Chain A
Amino acid sequence: MNESVSRKRGGAGGLQNRAALALVALLTATSSGMAGDVYLSAPGNDKANPYVYHNTFPAGVGDFVSSAEVGGDVFAPGLKAGDTFPLDIKIQDQNDQGHALSSFTEKGPLVLVLALVTAPRVMQQVAAFQNFIKSSGSDAQVVVVNVGQFGAALQPKSPAADSGRTVRVAAQEYGITLPLYWVHNDIYSANGFTNRLRARDLPTVYVIGKDGKIQHVYGSVHTKWASGDLASK
């Protein structure tokens, strides 16, 4: 049974399936809902037919990340000091303009704060961190990134138009004046931002050197900041 309904992508089978899909689409377009039922369930017929629809998509569409791709554990250890931070990732400003993380480290060490505008306690902790930055007179280059998964209609590859505005409203609500960006974080994918970092805890603060190496990582339990915490080596 499982073999008969597995997804067949491409090849002669794919052509046959596409032809069948076209036929079904033609018939259902001019008929009542009953024909749709036959297409959907194919009762008593070829058990592969209900999957004609699925088989028209190329491999990879709709995949979820696997356990092995995130270290076999929802809470697997994340990137640590000494690891290279993935600077190829692009973050978006509140006008939805993209900026590669490397464009920040090119200017000098970067303090990157992962936040979530829909988690009140996380944002309160970010606000407390902001107070520390201001009161300590730190001249560190600090960027806060909202890692919520924005996407239109549950399709992570289609960011919603309101993401920049949502982050701007949240910044005002929580009094965040540090630069607050957002990232298109596809948590369904192994290549999603926080899956690459294996970050589940918020806020998490990374101090990243100009060479892209992580110098310090601080999780949510780090609430008492000292001036040396953000020092770059």
Chain B
Amino acid sequence: MSRLSLSRRNILKAVAGSGVSCGFGTMVNLSGLSPAEAATLAVPNFKGGEFLDKFKGNVLCLPGKFSGNVNVMDMAKCETLAWFPFGLLNIDMPIPHHLASMPSEDATKGFDFYVTMQPPESPYVNEMSPEWRNRGTFGMWKMRFDGSGPQNRISMVNDIADTTGLALGVHTSIGVGPNANKYVSFADGQKDIIMVTTVDDNPKFVAAMKFDYDPVNKQLIISRLFPGPSGKFDLLNRKGCKTTHEAMLGEELMPADPTAVFVDAFTWHPEMPLGTVLLRRLGATPVIDTKTWTPLTVMGMGTGAPDHYKLVRQQGYTWVYSIPSVPTPLHEAGFVTNGLHYVSCNNVLENSNTVIESGDSDPLKWRKKAIIQGYGKTHLPLHMGNLPNSKYVYFTVWARPPLRGYIAKVSTDTWQILQKIDIGPDPHTCEPTIDGKYMTAVYSGNQGGQSGIVVLDVESDEIVMRYPDPGGHHDHSLVPKDWEGMKASRSTNV
């Protein structure tokens, strides 16, 4: 009785409050105001726009996925600052997939970011028409938002796939710590390849690796890849695909090309010259030395998996590791902002997180520390979000429709789930505001339903803002202010 009454009171209070403020918003005459004032006062529900002042300086970068564009949103103005339709690049059925933003002192004035793209067959394999099989493309672009002039614009700086001859379509992640302002990584689970380039406007190839599973000998084969005599790879568009659609959420058990490992991302250690590769199907994480671009170890994440798989042999640029069993696949993973821990999202079979101590400069000394349980059989941890102070980590937790997902807030002290917050159906990525007081998250309504962006108060766990957004985003980034802030962004985790 008391539960119901309390909820009802709050609901009625909120309904009444929002009704009043909506009315205020519609009564304001904007015609006599300067453009800047109009932008503030035109925000409905919040008198004078004051409520949004707390988000000043926070800018979101959002890939539109099926809407085919990328847009930049000012959280304080509740306004899209600019948008770029990838049809302008002559792409038939573009699907901007993942992105990562470079830091900017004032993101409203300008910043650079990277976007990757997959063909429509990948994210929409379930609903696709077979006639779409050849539409769209793989690719990576360096983009630039310019808000310094009278007309905001997003422009394409470099077509990195065209520059390197290698097209990849999943996560992109920008180097931090010792790799800050040097490198950006790209990954793809249909080709099982990662590539690293420099971050300048004319990117140079740095390193690439291919990952293959040998199902007979139960081994992981890691190979360095090098461009051909022309200085480029010959792996544009679908060339090199093992599977023509990326394994969807929880689909790691899908039978596939026998060599498939479903590479997902390359993430960066915040304090050391190290990076990790996420291998979804093997539930394993190679740790890469970013000075020599060689694997130092391959870590097992599932229950009962060894901390480090055995290196069977190494010859030239090929490393072979024994993976005798895979207790569970994983999807995303990454380092906590301070670099002391690495956390994996174990998918489907275990629905848990493995916490690994990752503070030692020798990755072979990294060890499992804890397992975060509590997601049950219906929900799996998907994406990870950090805070600048490393006090909590967040995970979006995904469920199959008609169930909804939620966000889990986890203590980095006890490694227990402290709160589960239902933000809407099909939650994806989470990113902190610059001050670390709020966590933003996107949800996409299972590719067609309710979608939006929520803002959580980190300490009270309240949803303090919900931005409507039709994009159905699969990813987003909040533009960090500096390279230190990048450590809490999608550089260290995805």
Contacts and interface: CB of A to CB of B under 8 A. Distances in A.
Interface of A: 1-2, 5-7, 16, 19-20, 23-24, 27, 30-51, 53-54, 57, 61-67, 70, 72-75, 114, 116, 118-122, 147-156, 160, 162, 165-166, 168-170, 173, 187-188, 194-195, 199-202, 204, 219-221
Nearest to B325: A73
Contacts of B251: 149, 187-188
Contact of A151 (B126, B416, B447): B126
B400 interface: yes
A153 B402 CA distance: 10
A125 to B, nearest CB: 10
15 contacts: A20-B3, A24-B11, A27-B11, A34-B14, A37-B14, A48-B3, A51-B422, A63-B378, A65-B349, A72-B325, A118-B244, A119-B244, A155-B402, A194-B253, A204-B255
B408 to A, nearest CB: 10
A202 B327 contact: no
Q: Is the interface of A mostly helix, strand, loop or mixed?
A: loop
Interface string B180-224: 000000000000000000000000000000000001101000000
Interface residues of B, number: 88
Contacts of A40: 421-424, 463
Contacts of B348: 64-65, 188
Given A34-B17, A220-B258, A70 B243 contact: no
Given A2-B417, A154-B249, A57 B403 contact: yes
B245 interface: yes
A23 B255 contact: no
Q: Is the interface of B mostly helix, strand, loop or mixed?
A: loop
Nearest to A200: B255
Contacts of B378: 7, 54, 61-64
Interface stretch (B62-70, B129-137, B332-340, B474-482): B129-137
Interface of B: 3-4, 6-8, 10-12, 14-15, 17-19, 22, 45, 121, 125-131, 133, 215-216, 218, 241-245, 248-258, 260, 281-283, 302-303, 325-329, 348-351, 374, 376-378, 380, 399-404, 406, 416-424, 446-448, 460-463, 466, 468
A189 to B, nearest CB: 10
Contacts of B244: 118-120
Contacts of A16: 4
Nearest to A5: B420
A38 B325 CA distance: 45
A4 B242 CA distance: 44
Nearest to B465: A37
